A and B are shown apart, each in its own frame.
Chain A
Amino acid sequence: MNDSWLLKADNLSIGYGGKALVDRISFQVFAHDFFGLVGPNGAGKSTLLMTLLGSVAPVEGKVHARPSLRIGYVPQRSRMDPLFPMSAIEVVRAGAMGPKAKGKAGWVLSSASQQEAMVALDRVGMKSLGTRPLRDLSGGQQQRVLMARALVREPDLLILDEPTAGMDIPSEVELLDFVSGLRVQGTAILLVVHQISLVAGRANRMALINKDIPLFAVGEANELLNSETLTALYREPMQVFDAAGQVIVRCGCAGQGARA
């Protein structure tokens, strides 16, 4: 791996009120990575993400971002307040705000143009619904709008927090295929999920996280996707199969197969 890291967690302890949930973790997200941050519910993924994004102060350690890194963030849509009467295109236009270009001080507080926002909506297949209020759209459609908002700023690194929550399987696959396509076009991806099957076969690198275990593992995805590692992470018997080149992760406890 070359040295072109975009985001780096350096001996990072995360938590609230000075109490660490997860201790001393270090990893890097490189340009062109599809990086999966995976852990069960309550593992501390959201806290880690908020720490990486600067919304929560680290208990210890540091987060480094490459100078002038452009991050596009796609939050969980359940956090969007339906009280706000904003159309999809207005939400997308706000995505352009942020620091000025490299070498220039200050911030850009103006929005993207209607046309730029429409192009971003078109990329996620939402052009025809651009004028609709966000709160009137379905969950999957709202997720696409939030994706368009992140894309309108042409990010170097796209960070997605549980983007497939509440989606049906075809929508889930479509969204993940789209995200994989962005990586091919040169945008690095950091995908936070609790279902390992969503990143298996897509992510080239992963960090597996669980509370009370100092960052369980970080590295190449194909090295981490094995029954032993996943069983220790989820504290349940897990099985990993290779079915004609496709990775299948199965939870042995409930007798239900997870998809890959």
Chain B
Amino acid sequence: MSFWGSSFLWLEAVIAACAVGAACAVVGVYMILRRVVFLPAALSQVSGLGVVFAFLLPTLLGLEQGTPWTSPELVAGVVTLAASLLLGWMPEPRRLSRDAVIGVAYVLASALMLIIGDRIPQDSHDINDILFGNAVAVETGQMVVALVVAGVVLSLHGWLMRPFLLVSFDSPTAKAHGVPVRVLDTVLFLTVGLTISVATKTIGAMPVFAFAVLPAAAGLSAFSDMRKVFLFAAGIGAASAFLGYWISFVGSVPTGPCMAVVTALFLLPAVIAGRLWQGKR
């Protein structure tokens, strides 16, 4: 069966992947600029920890399995948003770099996820899909969630691009000028947490980290204009999701890693183009 002839198999998965790919790329620009590049990776693990914790909650609270407010999506979302705010608001530690603290969060969340996951009476394949998504099979509901979240995140970032840039670039001046730095930081890191949580559930942790770092790195390497950086990164995120899926389908290779590798292929040309354009200025 040809790729296009079997679109009924992949259309929802590809739409969802393209949407979260673009959203991850846009929030990823701030991750690089604010030098918290491992935050998306740590948040993916925290999201997974939230999922396994959700399976354990009914037992801990003496509730029946399937209670709506202990759903894995909800608990993972809340835990990821909370972690995103905590790690985002965290002042620069005096004796450690911020990335070191993010590394601690990554290791701790990964270890706890494995310890708690071992206690859950659920089929291991199911749990793996819930934890880290499955870019091949995305349900309609999940696609709608991915589209809505990506739409909200991209719209917010389009509307608040300059305020987000000001508080990221020069927070003391923003504060001195009376700009609501804490409010803007909160919104920014909530969009990061929301994007990473939904994207991890949709396509898995590895492509999410790739989409959050590589398109942003390509955009920042190629352009000296923030609007172009964001548009280029979002375009690479969405295009890599589609191309990765296509190569995975045609070559019968794993989808998530394929998306990550395709995203990386955009980086080198972007760096070269950036150097050439810089030379012409």
Contact = CB atoms under 8 A, between A and B. Distances in A.
A107 B178 contact: yes
Interface stretch (B44-52, B95-103, B223-231): B223-231
In the A-B complex, the 6 residue pairs with the smallest Cβ-Cβ separation, listed nearest first, are A73-B176, A98-B178, A133-B224, A53-B176, A85-B224, A99-B178
Contact of B175 (A54, A87, A132): A54
Nearest to A135: B224
A94 interface: yes
A97 B175 contact: no
Contact of A94 (B165, B223, B224, B229): B165
A81 interface: yes
A115 interface: no
Given A86-B165, A86-B226, A81 B33 contact: yes
A93 B172 contact: no
27 contacts: A53-B175, A54-B175, A75-B173, A79-B172, A80-B169, A80-B170, A81-B33, A83-B220, A84-B165, A85-B223, A86-B169, A86-B226, A87-B224, A90-B165, A90-B226, A93-B162, A94-B162, A94-B166, A97-B163, A97-B174, A97-B177, A97-B179, A98-B179, A107-B180, A109-B162, A109-B163, A110-B162
- Dominant SS among interface residues on chain A: mixed
Interface in B82-128: none
Interface in A77-107: 79-81, 83-87, 90-91, 93-95, 97-99, 107
B170 A75 contact: yes
Contacts of A111: 162
The secondary structure that dominates the B interface is helix
Interface of B: 32-33, 35, 160, 162-163, 165-166, 168-180, 220, 223-226, 229, 281
A213 interface: no
Interface size, A (range): 35 or more
Interface in A138-195: 149, 153, 159
A122 interface: no
Contacts of A90: 162, 165, 225-226
A75 B172 contact: yes
A107 B183 CA distance: 11
A138 to B, nearest CB: 15
A50 interface: yes
Nearest to B166: A94
Contacts of B162: 90, 93-94, 97, 109-111
The winner among A53, A71, A94, A159 for most chain B CB atoms within 10 A is A94
Contact of B177 (A71, A79, A87): A71
Contact of A159 (B176, B179, B223, B224): B176
